[in-house]
Amino acid sequence: MLKKVKVTMPKKHCIVSSNNKSEIPYVYYATRYYRDENGKSQTDRVMIGKKDEETGLLIPNDNYFELFDVEVIINEK
């Protein structure tokens, strides 16, 4: 079983957002910025994990590892 891994929060293009119902701070990564037909700023984003409130670190999900091409090495003894 994989324990929760924590990594540093990416410096750029991150958006931290929480739902009013759950108040869990989810972290999204902006993959594209553009303007719609009305000239309003829009963002395409992907959820990359949750923010650990105690440490401020990111608890990543599978999208994080795909976007940032990071490999997790588990050393179980």
3: pLDDT confidence band, cut at 50, 70 and 90? low
Q: Could you list the residue range(s) of the whole structural domain that residue 25 is in? A: 14-67
To the nearest whole number, what is the mean pLDDT of the chain? 84
Q: Is residue 20 included in any domain, yes or no?
A: yes
Q: Is residue 4 included in any domain, yes or no?
A: no
Q: Is residue 54 included in any domain, yes or no?
A: yes
Q: Is residue 74 included in any domain, yes or no?
A: no
| pLDDT at position 22 over 50 | yes
Q: Is residue 27 included in any domain, yes or no?
A: yes
Q: Is residue 31 included in any domain, yes or no?
A: yes
Which stretches of 1-63 are assigned E, i.e. beta strand?
14-18, 25-35, 41-51, 58-60
Q: In total, how many domains does the chain have?
A: 1
Q: Is residue 5 included in any domain, yes or no?
A: no
Q: What is the DSSP letter of 7?
A: B
Q: Is residue 36 included in any domain, yes or no?
A: yes
